[in-house]
Chain A
Amino acid sequence: MHVPDGFLNAPTSLATGAIAAGVVGISLQRASREVRESGPALAGLTAAFVFAVQMVNFPVGAGTSGHLLGGALAAALVGPWTGLLVMSVVLLVQGLLFADGGLTALGTNITLMGAVTVLVGFLVTRGLLRAMPKRLGSVVPAAAVGALVSVPIAALAFTGLYAAGGAVDLSIGRLAAAMVGWHVLIGIGEAVITAAVLSAVVATRPDLVYVARHLQADLVLVDDQGRTTTVSPDRPVAAKPAGRSLGAGVAVTLLIAGVVSLFASANPDGLEFVGAKLGFGEAAKESAVAGSPLADYGVSGIGNGHVSGALAGIIGVLVTIGVGLLVAKLASLRRRAESASEPEPASRA
Chain B
Amino acid sequence: MADLDLVAYRAVAMSHAQGLGMFEQVLGHEPVSAPGSGLIYALWVSDIAPIPARSNLNSVSVRLELTGLVLTPADGQPEDDVDVAVTGAVNGLMREYCGDFTLGGTVANIDLLGAHGPSLRAKLGYARFDSTTYRAATLTIPLIINAAWNEVP
A and B associate: no
Q: Which residues of B contact A (CB under 8 A)?
A: none
